[in-house]
Amino acid sequence: MAEIPPVCDYGWQAKDFSLPGTDGRQYSLGNVKSSNGLLLMFICNHCPYVLAVLDRIVRDANDLQKLGIGIVAISSNDVHAYPEDSFDNMKKLAADFKFSFPYLYDESQDIARLYQAACTPDFFGFNNKDELQYRGRLDASRKEAGPKDLRRDLFEAMKEVSETGLGPKNQIASMGCSIKWKSA
């Protein structure tokens, strides 16, 4: 069953983190945000919702970086229950899709909990003051990629954030597979 995150809590402050990236470096909030904001994405390797639009996620990330938006992706799934989401498989996915942004591993799941991530993909768009301005969908695609000419909701929202510091008032929530939490 698909999971749908809550609507945007405007002004909610981005939380710091320190996580390893698939490139061997350690990343924190301070070294992923940029002059016009930050797009933080919770994704994973196996989710059909992510895989259906991963090429579009990469396209939009590349275009947003040109607008001064920092980009980072985080995988928080339980890799014991979902081995396809392992760190080695994350490295392969990042290389295969030529990620221009860090892909981080949240093994403890603490960061997913801190951000109250609900699903993959779950997008958090912050302005340059680290205030949440977008928590919506990439576009109208679901488990299958929609037509190529779909409105680029995420890109348009983050472009607005980069230009004004504010996100759109009307946002449609993302939809995807639930975060795969570890058993207690």
Tell me how crowded residue 180 is: count the other CB atoms within 10 A of its CB. Answer: 20
Residues 6+ apart with CB under 8 A from 94: 22, 23, 103
User: Alpha helix locations (H) across 22-134?
Assistant: 48-65, 87-96, 110-115
Average pLDDT over residues 65-83: 98
Structure tokens, 101: 């942004």
What percentage of the chain reaches a pLDDT higher than 70? 99
Average pLDDT over residues 112-139: 97
pLDDT at 1 over 70: no
DSSP annotation string for 81-109: T-GGGSHHHHHHHHHHTT-SS-EEE-TT-
DSSP secondary structure letter of residue 73: E
Could you tell me the fold of the domain covering 18-178?
Glutaredoxin (3.40.30)
CB distance 66 to 100 below 8 Å: no
pTM of the model: 0.96
pLDDT at 150 over 70: yes
Residues 6+ apart with CB under 8 A from 117: 5, 42, 74, 76, 179
Strand 132-134 relative to strand 177-178, pairing: unpaired
Alpha carbon distances (Å) from 170 to 8, 135, 136, 167? 9, 10, 9, 9
Over residues 38-63, the pLDDT tens digits come to: 999 999 999 999 999 999 999 999 99
